[in-house]
Homo-oligomer: A and B are copies of this chain.
């Protein structure tokens, strides 16, 4: 997939001042990069990053409300509806309208959904533990720690 040769000379001469100091630009690059690593390791077959995180959260939190799920994953409710509907169509999740508040929707994996997660989780966990080649293990720990702190996650200091 890499086609980066030939005009390296020209490309290397590009003046990227401002940008290399922009946290916005760097986080974008980082996300593109993690997506590439993801698909490199896991191929185009299994669930995508967003689907994976949704399923994993669903497995660990059966009965979670759809809105809470969206909020935790920083996905807009409108989009979460689509995601969940798609999972429902594939038979992976069950939508339950509880009696005590019939506006809300509680979600849980079906047996098929749990099977699907069980099938794909090992590859995902392995992918997650695979160290990106440009960073040391300790740098990764620091990076994750700083990212959590940056986005306002209760700093679970495991570093």
User: Which residues from chain A sit less than 8 Å from chain B, CB to CB?
Assistant: 4, 7, 10-11, 14-35, 37-38, 49, 53, 56-57, 60-61, 64-65, 68, 71-72, 74, 125, 128, 132, 134-135, 139-140, 142-144, 146-153, 156
A132–chain B nearest beta-carbon distance, Å = 6
Contact A153–B20 (Cβ < 8 Å)? yes
Contact B128–A152 (Cβ < 8 Å)? no
Contact B132–A23 (Cβ < 8 Å)? yes
State the copy count for this chain: 2
**Main secondary structure on A side of the interface with B:** helix
Bound CA–CA A116/B34 (angstroms): 33
Bound CA–CA A96/B1 (angstroms): 24
Bound CA–CA A21/B58 (angstroms): 17
B residues in contact with A135, CB < 8 Å: 146, 149-150
Bound CA–CA A154/B156 (angstroms): 31
B residues in contact with A17, CB < 8 Å: 60
Contact A15–B68 (Cβ < 8 Å)? no
| Contact status of A24 and B38, CB under 8 A, knowing A18-B56, A33-B150, A139-B146 | yes
